[in-house]
Amino acid sequence: MAPHHNMRYNGVEPMGEPVQKVHQRMRGTMPGQPQASIIIPTINRVACLTGCLEALAALNTSPATFEIIVVDNNSSDNTRDVAFSFAQAHPSLRLRYVHEARQGVSYARNSGIAAACGPIVCFLDDDARPLSEWLTAVTRGFLDPAVGCVGGPAILDYQGRERPPWLRADLQGLLSGYALPYVEPTGVSEVSEFPFGCNMAFRRKIIDEVGVFRADLDRLGHQLLAAGDTEMIARVHRAGWKVLYVPEAQVRHLVAPERLKKEYIYQVGLGLARSHVLLTADPRSHIIARWFASDSWYAARMLYRLLVALLRRKELWFDDYMRFWMVAQRIPSRVRNIWNSHGQEGSQHSESPRST
């Protein structure tokens, strides 16, 4: 492996040879600016990262038209060395390394945005494997000037492992499986149809307009919150931009063996419930009451569906159970959120200076 350079500019480290080109990469002055920036947040998953980089190196798009930004979210393994080695082995790629010490996928995505040079900013998970025509399909989606966000299918890849019999239908969405029944690029406006964070792209100018990802709504360590991508896309849509689903912009999304357990599904479900509470948090009493009523009604409806599924010995009853369980978890989560909010307010009042 070639020796590393010690240069660093604003947290972004150069990769590859010769040194003159390293400086050009750092300053964004390589001949021809990239049309797209591909951001990959990663932490302690060098095998996943390598596979993602290999898939990007195999794109049918000219390497001169895009840049890859690896955002190391404070890994303790050899993520940096692997990224640098890959850059040395693929000198035609514009590959940069960013270190983000604050752990959390939103912090990593936002650091990637700050480093990006392209007018289109794409996001991939490190366990996503874009197909060869992925970037071509993504950039084609932005030919419509009204489009602000593009996303495509994320097809689950169980890597040869047998899928558990209970893991069917909608539950695959908890593993970030995503596909809509459209065969042509189609605009979507329902939150339930918005793209997933493992495969989404935005116009850079729109991010500058609506703001970056909220750090309180996404994965942080073992906290599996999962609403940062949805909230961001919703902001883009509310700002008047079209959200486009492009079937050809497809990635394979690897499923690790530890995620084929009900314990993991419960963790993700709980994270979704807590994410919903954070997204809908409002200090006004009548709004709080409305959400409690909504959660209770929806939970009762899901419980009814579950009981019917059990009585009919429905094969996919666990789907119905998880729907009920996730909605029911919103209620105690909302109570805790309100309690914590009042506790913080009380603490602020007690710390405020008093007149004598």
Parallel/antiparallel/unpaired status of strands 120-124 and 154-157 = unpaired
CB contact at 8 A, 19 and 5: yes
Q: Which amino acid is at 229?
A: D
How high is the pLDDT of residue 171? Answer: 86
pLDDT at 192 over 60: yes
Question: Token pair 């942080």 is at which residue?
Answer: 220
pLDDT at 71 over 70: yes
Reported confidence tier of residue 87, pLDDT bands at 50, 70, 90: very high
Maximum alpha-carbon separation in the chain: 73
Structure confidence by residue, pLDDT tens digits, 292-344: 999 999 999 999 999 999 998 888 889 899 999 999 999 999 998 888 876 65
Query: Average pLDDT of 151-178?
Result: 90
Q: What is the dihedral of CA 133, 139, 144, 148, to 10 degrees?
A: 120
CA 355, CA 199: separation in Å to the nearest integer?
Answer: 55
How high is the pLDDT of residue 148? Answer: 98
The residues, any chain, with a CB within 8 Å of residue 36's CB and separated by 6 or more, are: 65, 66, 67, 118, 119, 120, 121, 122, 135, 138, 139, 201
From the list 242, 233, 161, the residue with the least C-alpha distance to 200 is 233
Which structure tokens are listed for 170? 């909608």
Q: Which pTM value belongs to this model?
A: 0.85
Q: Which amino acid is at 138?
A: V
pLDDT at 176 over 50: yes
CB contact at 8 A, 209 and 239: yes
CB contact at 8 A, 200 and 233: yes
How high is the pLDDT of residue 189? Answer: 96
pLDDT at 254 over 70: yes
How high is the pLDDT of residue 173? Answer: 87
Parallel/antiparallel/unpaired status of strands 120-124 and 199-203 = antiparallel
How high is the pLDDT of residue 224? Answer: 67
295-to-36, 174, 225, 300, 341 alpha-carbon distances in Å:
41, 20, 19, 9, 20
Phi, psi angle pair for 99, to nearest 5°: -105, 125
Reported confidence tier of residue 16, pLDDT bands at 50, 70, 90: very low
pLDDT at 22 over 90: no
Structure confidence by residue, pLDDT tens digits, 39-51: 999 999 999 999 9
How high is the pLDDT of residue 275? Answer: 86
Structure confidence by residue, pLDDT tens digits, 330-347: 999 999 888 887 665 555
The three-class DSSP label of residue 22 is helix
According to DSSP, the residues that pair with 201 across neighbouring strands are 122, 150
